Amino acid sequence: MESAGLVLFLIVIILILFGYPVGLTLGGISVIAGLIFFDIDFFYLVSLRIFGIMNNFVLLAVPLFIFMGLTLEKSGIAEKLLETMAILFGKIRGGLAYSVIIVGGMLAASTGIVGATVVTMGLISLPTMLKRGYDKKIATGVIASSGTLGQIIPPSVVLVLLGSVLNISVGDLFTSALLPGITLVILYVIYVGAVSIIKPKMVPAMPEKEIENFKKNTNTLELIKTFILPFILIFSVLGSIFMGIASPTEAAGIGALGALILSYLEGGINLKKIDAISVDTMKLTSIVFMILLGATSFSLVFRGLEGDKFIIDLIYASNLSPEMFTILVLLIVFVAGFFIDFIEIIFIIVPVITPILIALNIDLLWIGIMLAINLQTSFLTPPFGFSLFYLKSVSPKEIKTTDIYMGIIPFVIIQIVFLIFLFFNPDYIYIIPDLLKS
């Protein structure tokens, strides 16, 4: 019976790797296995699980955050913010790269959607960076890495889903993830600063004439508005959570409304765009919840077949310490991130390992942050990183795949080193939560 659960898990993974739709594969295989092993009563148990998901208030944050991110992307606010930031840093070597990293962090704190951020940054900033004489490798590396900051910087959809699966507070995950996210931004900036000193030709400053023309055509009030409005949105979302005024779901509602108001004030929104944003939100949300429903059915069958007990017994028999098990989990998730999306990993792998994490007394909040950064690193790692494919899809013809692969390697190394640091210093994630409590 226990081995049947493991076989079921392997069948699902193989079918997904062959390209079958994840939600339908999980649901279909689970229903067939349920009928074989548990009879028709299985469907009653599935319906209870589905109603449990429908009543999960936390998951309402997912479509709201997606809507907020798409609104900022399609309204042109992200583009205007990046252009303004680039001019402000223009006189400094590497200034354009600094602006991409900082705006990437700001977009992450406004949207939490990785694919949209990488594509937006690629379309807006890559042609400009190449035109200014930036090295192809450093340009693509900066864009891909800063675009994936949405995996870890709140309000990350990844953190919302992890909180739901690990059954821990999403608000606690947000506050714990803030410092690691900011740290990654700082580390990226330090790396670009080092490149600007060692190889200044790779990251040239912007021409003086262009900066002067921008100053002539832009008044101070417009400049302030470009920065202030996104900051107000970020503060309204994250501030309301951190100060205990709103739950993550309520804050997501504030963010969605705030993004619409902000876009209206900037003149970048109309009914046609709202319609397109709503349709895209519905599509993305439907994909997430189809996978969630399928994964819930799979989890029910897997546990019914005592697959989780089999794995726990296996871990105990092998005498793996909590530290070694954590490393094993991170490696499995890292490799899985090459082939399947983060949603599938969260809903397939994480529910399987959660009982073992609890049995080994591993801090679920800490492992949640580690998993989010690990997924982010996996999304950046050649040759299969999803973010690299997103960037390649919108890159000019002169950008080769090898340019993107070579450019991202230093940023992957930065993230791996930071992961190692967090592994040995788990209290680092509690610095901001402790400050908020004091």
Q: Looking at the predicted structure, is the pLDDT value of residue 355 above 70?
A: yes
Average pLDDT, the chain: 81
The 10s digit of each residue's pLDDT in 144-175 is 898 888 788 887 778 888 998 898 988 899 89
- CA-CA distance, 395 to 393, in Å (whole number)? 6
Asked if 143 and 100 count as a contact pair (C-beta separation under 8 A), the reply is: yes
Residue range 401-430: mean pLDDT, rounded? 93
Q: How confident is the model at residue 2 (pLDDT cuts 50, 70, 90)?
A: low
- Take residue 183 and report the two structure tokens written for it: 């740290």
Asked if 340 and 379 count as a contact pair (C-beta separation under 8 A), the reply is: no
Could you identify the residue written with the tokens 């429908």?
Answer: 54
- Take residue 134 and report the two structure tokens written for it: 């930036």
Higher pLDDT among residues 90 and 399, named by residue: 399
What pLDDT is attached to residue 191?
Answer: 95
Ramachandran quadrant class, 140 (left: phi over 0; alpha: psi -120 to 50; beta: rest): alpha
What pLDDT is attached to residue 125?
Answer: 78
Q: Looking at the predicted structure, is the pLDDT value of residue 95 above 90?
A: no
Higher pLDDT among residues 253 and 69, named by residue: 253
Higher pLDDT among residues 183 and 402, named by residue: 183
The mean-pLDDT minimum among 136-140, 193-197, 348-352 falls in: 348-352
What pLDDT is attached to residue 215?
Answer: 64
Q: How far is CA 62 from CA 54, 182, 217, 320, in A?
A: 13, 22, 39, 36
Residue range 375-393: mean pLDDT, rounded? 79
What pLDDT is attached to residue 195?
Answer: 93
Q: Where are the domains of the chain?
A: 57-279+301-437
Higher pLDDT among residues 23 and 326, named by residue: 326
Model pTM? 0.78
- CA-CA distance, 39 to 35, in Å (whole number)? 5
Amino acid at 266: E
The 10s digit of each residue's pLDDT in 337-353 is 776 667 778 877 888 88
Q: How confident is the model at residue 110 (pLDDT cuts 50, 70, 90)?
A: low
Q: Cβ contacts of residue 379 below 8 Å, gap of 6+? A: 114, 148, 151, 337, 342, 385, 386, 387
The 10s digit of each residue's pLDDT in 308-320 is 677 667 666 777 7
